[in-house]
Amino acid sequence: MTRFAAYATAVAIALGSLSTPSLAAPCKDAKGKFTKCPPVATAAATRCRKDGKFAKCGTPGAVPVKK
């Protein structure tokens, strides 16, 4: 049982270290130098109202709120 736990821990550490370089890849230029990553644009959340109260937009009768 102890060997299995040690093996599982070693595999988890190995797999965790493999994914790290792929996360940094988009922040490199053509020469391989690190650059500042562009900010991630988030979509504005839409809010809906039904009978004067906020409701989920999937609710029947809910209308999106204008800003």
What is the reported pLDDT for 50? 92
**β-strand pairing of 63-64 with 53-55:** unpaired
Say if residues 27 and 36 touch (Cβ distance below 8 Å). yes
For residues 63 and 56, give the distance between their C-alpha atoms in angstroms, rounded to a whole number: 9
What is the reported pLDDT for 25? 61
What is the reported pLDDT for 44? 75
pTM of this prediction exceeds 0.85:
no
Instruction: Going residue by residue through the chain, which has 67 residues, state the pLDDT in tens, using 9 for 90 and above.
Output: 677 767 667 666 765 555 445 554 678 888 888 888 888 888 777 889 999 899 988 899 999 988 7
What is the reported pLDDT for 11? 65
Query: Residue 20 class from Cβ within 10 Å (0-12 exposed, 13-18 middle, 19+ buried)?
Result: exposed
